[in-house]
Amino acid sequence: MSGRFVYWMNVSADLLIERAPGEQGGGTWMRIGEPLHREFNARARALSLMVQGRTIYETMEGFWPAARDDESLPGYLREYGEIWTSKPKVLVSRTRTSAEHNTEIIGGDDAVGELAELRQRTDGDIGVGGATLATALLRAGLLDELLLFTHPVILGTGRPLFDSHDEPLELDLLEQARFDEGVTLHRYAVRNVRTPLPQTA
């Protein structure tokens, strides 16, 4: 049994994830309508669990639990609120000591090692949220897939998909799709990912 770490992110055509610091998925350049959000919902529901860094976790925590029961919101947003609060989650943080909404915290000096063990004992896809976390997994050879929703815009400046990564990253295309407003989905397998060692008795 072994899970797959899947880095899921909205990106611009020049592979930036935010133009202004602190956008955290809320940039006005993103074209997220109902069909695309329903795709988000379906893929999030299919995850075995989510692993998120503190910044993205706190962004999600600040909106989705309340959205779950907010009758003023469209049904597909309330649905995502239900998915996010109910889904098993791991928060990677050195500063947080508690979290609600079905969340476990990993915050030790060997967080990547703990995540490697988590991957080994999980069956299915593990959604990865946050560039810092995804970069650490990539450097450790543990990032299995990229799930990129590319919005038709060139930002020119901003935060890249990975932090301080200057090596070629070879990928294999697994899936692609197109949504309204010209947004495209590309799912890639990352080559040369570490295979978990067999568990010993």
pLDDT digits (tens, 9 = 90+) for 50-90: 999 999 999 999 999 999 999 999 999 999 999 999 999 99
CB-based contact 5:143 (threshold 8 Å): yes
Name residues of the chain where pLDDT drops below 70: 1, 24-25, 195-201
pLDDT for position 21: 82
pLDDT for position 88: 97
CB-based contact 153:13 (threshold 8 Å): yes
Structural domains in the chain, CATH included, are 3-57+89-190 (3.40.430.10)
